[in-house]
C-alpha cells in the first residue's frame, strides 16, 4: 500500500476540488472532510508501523530525473512518522478553527481552504522524502501556500510579514540548494537518495562547508537565534490557523532537518559545530523567554515563547545523546499541540474583542470561564508544567544535554523559570482581575470552538502522563541516528549512548 503517496494525493486532489467549488459553505465542509480522511488514513498507517522493523518503512522509490539520479523516494522512520501524524491531526483542527477567517477579510473562502490542503500535502511530503533533492523541492514548495495565507488573509501588516517570511526562507533555501548540488557532485554516487549518501563525504573541510549550507537553511526555518526575526512578524500577522501550522509544523522542518541531514550526512562537521550551536540554542532559550515577558501583543508573545522552545529542541539534537535526541523529537510533537492550542485560543479571544493587545483585556474568566480554563491549560503546557506533555520532552532534553554539557543545560533550565513569568503574567493580565468594560458580555467558546480546543487539551494531558507510545516509535530511529554519528560524536556522548 503506497500510504504516503495516497496521503499526499488525497490532500492535493482535495485542494483541486475545493478550488472549483462555488459555494463557500460546501468548500469548508469538503476541506474538513478531506482533512479528516487524511487523518484517519495516517492513524491507520501509524498503527501498521513496526518500531522494531526496518528503519524506513512504507518506502516508495521511482525514477524522476534519471539523468541526474533524482528519485521520487518517500518513506518514514519513527521521527518522520510522528511529525506526519502531528500534521494530520492539526490540519482538521485548523480547518474547523478557521471557519470564519477568510470571511472576515471578504476574500475568497475556497482559495483559503484549498491552500490549507495544498500545505498539508507539502508538509507530508517534506517529512516523508528520502531523496535529498525531493526534500529540497518540498522544503521550498511549502513556502508558497503559507506566503499567500499570510499575505492575503493576515492582519494589517500582512504584506510586510509575508514578504519577510519569504525572503528569509528563500535565502536559506538557496544556500541549501548549493549544498545539495555540491553534495551530489562531491559524493560521486550518482544519486540523491539519503541512505546511500550517509558516510559518502569523508573530508572534514568539505563536510564543514556542506554542513553550513544545510544548517543555516534549517536554522532560519526553525528559527534558531539569531535567524529568528521573521517569526514574530509572520506569526502575529497570520490568521490563527495559519500561525498554528507555521509554528507547529513548518518550523519543525528546520529541527527535523538538523537531526536527519546535518547529523547523519556530516557527522564530523556536526561535532565541530556543536559548541557554537549549543551556545546559540542557550542564547535562544533565554533571549526568547526574556523578550516574551516584555510583549504587549498576545500572538507576538506566543511567537517569542516558540523561539525559546526551539532553542531547547536544537540543544537536544546537538547534545548527540539518546535522551537529548529523543527528547527533541518528542518536543517537536508536544510543542505543536501546546503552541497550537495557545494560538487557537488566542485567536478566538482576538476574534471576539478585535484586539491582540494584552492591555485591552482583563477579567475574561468571569464572562468566559471555558475559554479562560482552556487557555490556562494551554499556557501551563507552554511552561512545561509536570503532568502536561511538554514537561516530559523538556526534561529529556535537559537530562540528555546535562550528560555531556552540564553548564549549558543548567543555563537552559532558567528558561523554565522565565516561562512561568511570561505565561502566568499574560494569563493574570487577560483573564484575572476586574472585568474590563470592553469584554463585558464576551461569549464563551461555542460548540465548534470546543471541538477545536478539546482534542488538543486532551492530547496535552494524555501525552503528559503516557508518552510511551510516541517514544516507542521515536527511540529506534534516534538510536540509529546516534549510531551513525557515534564514530565522531563526543566520547562521553558515545559512552552514554552505549549504556
What b/e readout covers 248-268, taking b as 16+ CB neighbours within 10 angstroms?
Answer: bbbbbbbbbbbbbbbbbbbbb
Question: In the prediction, which pLDDT does 100 show?
Answer: 75
Q: Answer yes or no: are the C-beta atoms of 165 and 150 closer than 8 Å.
A: yes
Does residue 108 or residue 186 have the better pLDDT? Answer: 186
Contacts with 188 (C-beta within 8 Å, 6 or more apart), sequence order: 200
**Spatial CA neighbour of 361 closest among 445, 302, 457, 296:** 296
> For residue 286, is pLDDT > 60?
yes
Q: 128, 76 in Cβ contact below 8 A?
A: yes
CA-CA-CA-CA torsion for 46, 48, 51, 55, nearest 10 degrees? -90
Mean local confidence (pLDDT), 32-37? 94
Task: Tell me how far apart the alpha carbons of residues 240 and 237 are, in angstroms, rounded to a whole number.
Answer: 9
User: Is pLDDT at 355 greater than 70 in this prediction?
Assistant: yes
- Provide, rounded to the nearest whole percent, the portion of the chain with pLDDT above 90: 37
Give one DSSP letter per residue of 43-111, joined into a string.
HHHHHH--TTS-SSEEEEEEEEEGGGTEEEEEEE-HHHHHHHHHHHHHHHHHHHHTTTHHHHTT--HHH
Average pLDDT, the chain: 87
Whether the Cβ atoms of residue 288 and residue 305 lie closer than 8 Å to each other: yes
Do 270 and 278 touch, CB atoms closer than 8 A?
no
Report DSSP state, residue 154.
S
Q: Tell me which residue of 304, 335, 203, 207 sits closest to 263, measured CA to CA.
A: 207
Position 488 pLDDT exceeds 70: no
* Cell numbers describing residue 198: 550517509
Categorize the per-residue pLDDT at 496 as very low, low, confident or very high, splitting at 50, 70 and 90: very low
State the Cα–Cα distance between residues 20 and 111, nearest whole angstrom.
9
pLDDT bin (cut points 50, 70, 90) of residue 102 is: low
Structure confidence at residue 106 (pLDDT): 54
Q: What is the pLDDT of residue 101?
A: 63
Q: How far apart are CA 242 and CA 111, in angstroms?
A: 14
> What's residue 152's pLDDT?
84
Percent of the chain's residues with pLDDT above 70: 96
pLDDT tens digits for 396-430?
Answer: 999 999 988 899 999 988 888 898 888 888 888 88
Q: Average of pLDDT values for 449-468?
A: 91
Kindly report, residue by residue over 429-443, the tens digit of the pLDDT: 888 888 887 778 888
- The pLDDT of residue 179 is 92
pLDDT recorded at residue 499: 35
Q: Quick check: 418 and 440 in contact, CB under 8 A?
A: no
Amino acid at each position: 500500500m503506497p500510504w504516503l503517496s495516497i496521503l499526499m494525493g488525497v490532500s492535493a486532489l482535495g485542494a483541486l476540488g475545493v478550488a472549483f467549488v462555488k459555494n463557500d459553505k460546501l468548500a469548508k465542509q469538503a476541506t474538513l472532510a478531506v482533512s479528516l480522511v487524511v487523518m484517519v488514513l495516517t492513524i491507520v498507517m501509524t498503527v501498521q508501523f513496526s518500531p522494531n522493523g526496518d528503519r524506513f518503512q512504507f518506502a516508495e522509490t521511482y525514477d524522476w530525473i534519471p539523468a541526474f539520479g533524482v528519485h521520487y523516494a518517500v518513506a518514514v522512520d519513527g521521527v518522520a512518522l510522528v511529525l506526519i501524524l502531528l500534521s494530520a491531526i492539526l490540519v482538521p483542527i485548523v480547518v474547523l478553527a478557521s471557519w470564519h477567517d477568510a470571511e472576515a477579510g471578504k476574500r475568497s473562502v475556497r482559495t483559503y481552504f484549498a491552500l490549507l490542503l495544498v500545505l498539508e500535502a507539502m508538509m507530508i511530503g517534506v517529512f516523508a522524502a528520502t531523496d535529498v533533492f525531493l526534500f529540497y523541492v518540498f522544503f521550498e514548495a511549502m513556502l508558497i501556500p503559507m506566503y499567500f495565507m499570510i499575505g492575503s488573509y493576515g492582519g494589517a501588516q500582512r504584506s510586510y510579514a509575508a514578504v519577510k517570511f519569504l525572503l528569509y526562507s528563500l535565502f536559506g533555501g538557496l544556500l541549501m540548494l548549493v549544498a545539495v548540488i555540491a553534495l551530489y557532485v562531491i559524493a560521486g554516487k550518482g544519486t540523491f537518495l539519503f541512505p546511500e549518501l550517509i558516510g559518502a563525504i569523508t573530508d572534514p573541510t568539505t563536510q564543514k562547508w556542506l554542513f553550513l549550507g544545510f544548517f543555516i537553511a534549517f536554522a532560519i526555518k526553525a528559527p534558531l537565534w539569531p535567524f529568528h526575526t521573521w517569526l514574530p512578524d509572520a506569526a502575529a500577522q497570520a490568521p490563527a490557523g495559519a500561525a498554528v501550522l507555521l509554528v507547529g509544523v513548518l518550523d519543525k522542518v528546520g529541527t527535523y532537518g538538523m537531526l536527519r541531514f546535518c547529523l547523519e550526512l556530516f557527522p564530523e562537521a556536526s561535532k565541530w559545530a556543536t559548541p557554537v550551536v549549543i551556545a546559540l540554542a542557550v542564547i535562544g532559550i533565554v533571549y526568547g523567554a526574556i523578550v516574551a515577558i516584555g510583549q504587549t501583543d498576545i500572538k507576538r508573545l506566543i511567537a517569542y515563547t516558540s523561539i525559546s522552545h526551539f532553542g531547547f529542541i536544537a540543544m537536544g539534537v546537538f547534545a548527540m545523546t539518546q535522551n537529548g535526541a529523543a527528547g527533541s523529537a518528542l518536543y517537536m510533537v508536544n510543542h505543536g499541540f501546546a503552541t497550537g492550542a495557545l494560538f487557537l485560543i488566542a485567536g478566538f479571544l482576538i476574534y471576539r474583542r478585535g484586539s491582540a493587545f494584552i492591555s485591552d483585556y482583563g477579567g475574561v474568566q468571569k464572562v468566559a470561564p471555558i475559554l479562560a480554563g482552556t487557555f490556562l491549560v494551554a499556557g501551563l503546557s507552554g511552561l512545561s508544567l509536570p503532568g502536561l506533555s511538554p514537561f516530559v520532552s523538556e526534561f529529556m532534553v535537559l537530562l540528555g544535554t546535562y550528560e555531556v554539557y552540564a553548564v549549558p543545560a543548567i543555563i537552559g533550565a532558567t528558561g523554565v523559570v522565565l516561562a512561568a513569568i511570561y505565561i502566568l503574567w499574560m494569563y493574570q493580565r487577560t483573564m484575572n482581575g476586574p472585568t474590563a468594560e470592553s469584554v463585558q458580555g464576551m461569549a464563551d467558546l461555542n460548540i465548534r470552538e470546543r471541538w477545536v480546543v478539546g482534542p488538543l487539551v486532551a492530547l496535552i494531558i494524555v501525552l503528559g502522563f503516557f508518552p510511551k507510545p510516541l517514544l516507542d516509535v521515536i527511540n529506534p530511529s534516534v538510536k540509529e541516528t546516534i549510531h551513525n554519528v557515534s564514530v565522531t560524536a563526543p566520547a562521553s556522548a558515545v559512552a552514554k549512548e552505549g549504556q
